[in-house]
């Protein structure tokens, strides 16, 4: 079971958070075109290893977090606010 260290609330159980998926996907510019939006909405790296992902702390501060988590070991390496760009460790 994940324990996510929220920068504002401290370490909390996963059930306090709502997962919002891959945080490396950035919404394209409004007129980037169909392919760009198809890629944004549907295509995923789905890495076996470090994953940058969104979690919304709905049971706490309601802040959106960027979490660096390993998809095999589930280790959490970094947690930040939505505007920061935490680095993904090498695979």
Partner 1 sequence: MSGPVRIRAGLLTDPGQPVAFSFDGRALRGLHGDTLASALLAGGQRVFGRSFKYHRRRGVVTCGPYEPCALVDVQGPRGREPNLAATTLPLHEGLTAFSQNRWPSLDFDLMEVNDLLGRFLPAGFYYKTFMYPGWAWEKIYEPLIRRAAGLGRLDAVVGTHADPAETVHAHADVLVIGAGAAGLAAATLLGSAGLRVTLCEQDVELGGGTLLDARWNDWRRQAATALPALGVRVLTRTAVLGAYGHGVFGALETLTPEASARLGGLRERLHVLRARRAVIACGASERLIAFPGNDIPGVMLAGGALGYLVRYGVAVGARPVLFTNNDEAYEAAMALQGAGIGCAGIVDVRAASAAAERAQAQGIEVHFASQVRAVQGRAGVESVTVAPRAGGASRVLPCDALLMSGGYTPLTALATQMGGDSHWRPELAAFVAEVPPDVGCLAGAVNGRQGLAASAADGRAAALRLCAELAVNVPTEPDGAEPADAAQSALEAFWEVRAKGKAFVDLQNDVTAADVRLAQREGYEHVEHMKRYTTHGMATDQGRTGGLVGSAVLAEARGEPLATVGVSRPRPYSQPVPFAALAGGEVREHFKPRRRLPLHDWHEQAGATFVSTGLWLRPLVYSRQGGWAPVLEEARAVRTQVGITDVSTLGKIDIQGPDAAQFLDFIYANTFSTLPVGRARYGIMLREDGMMFDDGTTARLAPEHFLVTTTTANATAVLEHLEFQQQANLASLRVLISDVTDQWAQFAIAGPRARDVLAAALPNADLSNEAFPFMAAMPVVLEDLPGRLFRISFSGELAYELAVPAQHALFAWESLLRAGEAFGIRPYGLDALNTLRIEKGHITGAELNGNTSAEDLGFGRMLKKQGDFIGRTLVRRPGMLASDRLQLVGVRAVDPALRLRNGMQLVTHEAPTESLGYVTSSTPAVESPGWLGLALLAGGRSRTGARLTASSAIHGENIEVEIVSPHMVDPENLRVRA
Partner 2 sequence: MSPEPIPSPSGSPAPVRSSGRYSLWRLLAEGLRGQQGWRPAWRKPHPRPAYQVVIVGGGGHGLATAFYLAHEFGIRDVAVIERGPLGLGNVGRNTTIVRSNYFQPPNIRFYEYSLKLWEGLEHTLNFNAMVSQRGTLNLFHTEAQRDLFTRRANQMRLLGVDAVAVDRDEVRRLVPLADLDNGRYPVLGGFLQPRGGTVRHDAVAWGYARAASNLGVDIIEHCEVTGIRRDGGRVTGVETTRGFIGAETVCLAVAGSSSRLAAQAGLKLPIESHVLQAFVSEALKPVLDVVLTYGAGHFYVSQSDKGGLVFGGAIDGYNTYGQRGALPMAEEVTAAAVTLLPALARVKVLRQWGGVMDMSMDGSPIISHTPLAGLILNGGWCYGGFKAIPAGGMCTAHLIARDTPHPVAAHLDLERFAAGRTIDERGVGPFPYLH
Strands 10-13 and 3-6: antiparallel
Binding mask 46-85 for partner 2 (x = CB under 8 A): xxx--x-x---------------x-xxxx-----------
* Cβ neighbours for 83, distance < 8 A, ≥ 6 positions apart: none
In whole angstroms, give the CA distance from residue 80 to residue 7: 7
In the stretch 14-33, what mask flags binding to partner 2 with x, by CB under 8 A? xx---x-xx-----------
Give the interface with partner 1 as residue ranges (CB under 8 A): 1-3, 13, 18, 20, 23, 27, 30, 32-34, 36-38, 40-41, 54, 56, 58, 62-64, 73-74, 76, 82-83
């Amino acid at each position: 079971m994940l324990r996510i260290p929220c920068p504002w609330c401290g370490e909390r159980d996963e059930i306090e958070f709502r997962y919002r998926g891959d945080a490396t996907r950035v919404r394209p510019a409004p007129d980037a075109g169909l392919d760009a939006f198809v890629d944004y909405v549907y295509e995923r790296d789905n890495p076996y290893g470090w994953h940058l992902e969104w979690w919304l702390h709905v049971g706490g501060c309601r802040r959106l977090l960027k979490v660096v988590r390993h998809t095999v070991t589930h280790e959490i390496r970094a947690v930040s606010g939505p505007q920061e760009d935490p680095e993904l460790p090498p695979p």
